[in-house]
Structure formats: C-alpha cells, structure tokens
Amino acid sequence: MSVCVVIGNPNPGGRTTTIGEAVGSAIASARSEDMTTLELATVASHLFEWGNEDVKALTTSVASADVIVFACPTYKATYTGLLKAFLDQYGNDGLAGCAAVPVMVGAAPQHALAPEVHLRPLLVELGATVPTQGLFVLDSELDQLDATVEAWSTRWIASLT
Ligand SMILES: Cc1cc2nc3c(=O)[nH]c(=O)nc-3n(C[C@H](O)[C@H](O)[C@H](O)COP(=O)(O)O)c2cc1C
C-alpha cells in the first residue's frame, strides 16, 4: 500500500470521502501507485478499546503507506474527535517515514486555515513530513472539485513524487 486515504468523518461516504479520494487518486496517479481508503467511521466503536487488535492492525497498515491523505470535515473549527482518537493510537513518531497531506472540508470560509493551523501540527507531532500546503475545500464548492484538485496538484504534487 503506497497511497492511503484516511477519512476522519463520522458520516462515511460523504463529501469528505469524495474530496479525500480525489486528492488521493491524483497523488496515486502521479506516483503510478494504487490507492486504498480507510473510513474511520467503520472502526469508530473500537477506537476506545485500548489495544484492540483490529485497530492495531489498521494503524500499522496506514503507517506502512508512503503517502497518507488525511481527509476530515471541519468540526468546531478543527479536525474531528474521530480522527484524533485514531491518531492517538500512535506512539511518538508513529508516522515517521510517511508523507502526510492534510485535507479538510468545511462550510465556513473563515476556517480555511484549519488544515495548516490544526491538522498539520498534529501530523508533524507524529513524525510525518508534510511537504505540501494543506487543502481546504468548501462543501458548497464540490461542483468545482476537479479544478480545485488540479490547481492543488499542479502546485504541490511534485513534492510527493
Ligand atoms: C458537528 C458539526 C460541526 C461543524 N463545524 C464546522 C465548523 O466549525 N466550520 C466549518 O467550516 N464547517 C463546520 N461544519 C460543516 C462540516 O465541516 C461540513 O458540513 C462537512 O465537512 C461536510 O462534509 P460531509 O458531507 O462529508 O459530512 C460542521 C458540521 C458538523 C456536523
């Protein structure tokens, strides 16, 4: 597994999934690699069972990816508790050796810096490198997603190849 898209949305299969997979697909295509998606909502009920073997296997699998896209809705101006509960499973430097891409979706333009101000520091704390600018997508602009991802890719994807 080389490009993994982690969806931190309690509502699986929503706009956040569409956006995360569009970014992941652009990266996978540029790297000629496969992409897999993990919907954290599917393991939500196990995230607080400390030491749960299924969760442990997922954290190991995600950390084995070369590039991880973390796609998350903006809740209360930051990432969701679901994403934080998953990332709390890692020890210090648990994502060392991975490149991480922060992608957030939201309804409010005033929260457009959330990927940079909130999600990036969390990923850096886990030892990931974050070589690109984070991407914030307004949920009302889903109809422009292709152009948004293309503009982001043109500027940043070379840092991931
Ligand atoms: C509990 C909750 C809190 C939210 N807080 C914010 C917020 O602070 N800022 C923002 O831009 N959008 C906020 N939103 C809007 C969501 O980020 C947006 O609807 C979501 O990303 C849409 O993605 P989805 O269709 O994949 O669920 C909130 C939505 C919910 C349900």
DSSP string, 16-57: HHHHHHHHHHHHHHHHT--EEEEEGGGGGGGTTSTT-HHHHH
Angstrom distance (rounded) from CA 71 to CA 82:
12
CA of 14, closest atom in ligand 1: 26
Q: Which amino acid is at 33?
A: E
Distance CA 68, CA 102 (A): 9
* Ligand 1 mean position, distance from CA 160 (Å): 28
CATH number at residue 60: 3.40.50.360
Cα 53 to ligand 1 centroid, rounded to whole Å? 31
Q: Which domain holds residue 136?
A: 3-160
For ligand 1, say whether the CB of 14 is within 6 Å of any of its atoms.
Answer: yes
Ligand 1 atom closest to 16 (CA)? 26
Contact 20, 143 (CB under 8 A): no
Instruction: Give the tokens for residue 40.
Output: 């954290």
Count of domains observed in the chain: 1
pLDDT in the model for residue 86: 98
* Ligand 1 site, residue 102, Cβ cutoff 6 A: no
pLDDT value, residue 135: 98
- CB of 139 within 6 A of ligand 1: the answer is yes
By alpha-carbon position, which residue is closest to atom 16 of ligand 1?
106
10-residue averages of pLDDT along the chain (161 residues):
93 97 97 97 96 96 98 98 98 96 98 98 98 98 98 97 81
User: Is 80 close to ligand 1, i.e. is its CB under 6 Å away?
Assistant: no
State residue 1's pLDDT score: 56
Could you tell me the pTM of the whole model? 0.98
Q: Which atom in ligand 1 lies closest to the alpha carbon of residue 73?
A: 21
Q: Whose CA is nearest to atom 6 of ligand 1?
A: 75
Which residue out of 7, 11, 74, 142 has the highest number of ligand 1 atoms within 8 Å of its CB and is therefore the one to mutate?
Answer: 74
